[in-house]
Structure 1
Amino acid sequence: MHQLTWSQFDWAVEAITARYASHSFTGVYGVPRGGVCLAVALSHSLDLLWLTEPKQGCLVVDDVYETGQTLGSIREQVDATFVVWMSKLPPEWWIAATTISPDEWLVFPWENVDLAVEDEARYRASRSMTL
C-alpha cells in the first residue's frame, strides 16, 4: 500500500500546471471523486473555470488511471485533454504526472487509511475469486 501525501499532490499540481500554462482550455473537469480535488487545485493554478461536467476543449483530470474505463467513456463523449496524477499503465492518449506499478494500492491524501486497507482487501479478494 502506497500512501500519498499532500506534498506529492502539490508537486503533481505544479507539474501539470507547468505543462499546460500556455494552453487554452474551456475549463477543468474532475472525475468524481478523486479527480475533483485535482480539478479544483488546477482550476485555481491555471485560472480556469471548474466544470461540473466535461465539455469540448476542456482539461479532464482524475486521480488515477487503472483500467481506462472511466476516462475512456468520457473520451467518447468529448474532445478534451486527459491528465491523471497516477497512472498504473504507460500513458497512451492521456498524460500522467506519475506512472507506477499496476499492483500498487494507492491511498490518496483525502482518503481514510483504515478504510483504504479494507477496500484493498475486498478488491484483492474479488480478483482472486474470478481467477
Structure 2
Amino acid sequence: MISYFTWSDFDESVEHIANKCKLLEFSGIYGVPRGGLCLAVALSHKLKINLISEPIKNSLIVDDIYETGITLNTLKDIEGATFFVLFSKVQPKWWNTVHISEKKEWIVFPWENILNIKNDRNDYTKKRGLI
C-alpha cells in the first residue's frame, strides 16, 4: 500500500511537534539525513532553535520514519536528547511520533520524486532485508 504525505500534512505535523516541544529547551535540532532534514529545518524556524550538523547533548533529533530502528537506535544514548519522527511503524517506546502507520505501508513524502517510488521502495527493502 502506498500513501502520499502532502505538504499540508507536513505543516500540520510540524505544528504538532512544535506544540509538544515549545516548553522544552534544546541545545539544537538535528535532522537525520536525508529524511529528517526537511523536518529539522521547519522545526528550527518554528521553534527558533539552531539547526546543528550532528546530534549533541540535549538536542531535538528528528527523522521522517521509524521502521526498523536501525537509524535512531544508533543515536538513542545521546544524553538528554528528545526524539520525534513523522511516522512510526511500531508503537513508540523511547521516541515520539506524530503518526503510526502499518508495516507494509510505503509513505511518499512531498520532497521525494514520485517517478522513483518503485525504485526507491525496492532499493530500501533490499538494503534492509525486508523482502
| TM-score (norm. length: structure 1) | 0.91
Contiguous gaps of at least 5 residues in structure 2: none
- In the alignment, structure 1 residue 92 sits paired with structure 2 residue 93: yes
Unaligned stretches of 5+ in structure 1?
A: none
1:117 CA displacement? 1.9
Output aligned runs, 1:1-131, within 5 Å: 1-123=2-124, 127-128=130-131
1:23-69 residue CA offsets vs partner (Å, 9 max, x unmatched): 10111100000101000000000010001100100000000000111
Amino acid at match of 2:63: D
SS of the counterpart of 1:50?
A: coil
The 10-residue stretch of structure 1 (11-20 or 73-82) with the greater mean CA deviation from structure 2: 73-82
Answer whether contact 1:54 1:78 (CA < 8 A) is retained: no
Q: How many residues matched?
A: 128
Amino acid at match of 2:20: R
User: Aligned in 2, Cα 1:87/1:127: closer, same or farther, shift over 3 Å?
Assistant: closer
Separation of aligned partners in 2, 1:30 and 1:89:
20
The DSSP-based 3-state class of the residue aligned with 1:11 is helix
Task: Identify if the C-alpha distance between structure 1 residues 23 and 79 changes in structure 2 by more than 3 Å, giving closer, same or farther.
Answer: closer
Q: Which amino acid aligns with 1:38?
A: L
How far off its partner does 1:76 sit?
3.0
For 2:41 and 2:79, locate their aligned partners in 1 and report how far apart those are by CA, in whole Å.
20
The 1:43/1:122 distance shift into structure 2, 3 A limit, reads closer
Query: CA offset at residue 119 of structure 1?
Result: 2.0
String of CA shifts for 1:95-124, please: whole Å, max 9, x gaps.
001111011011110000111122224445
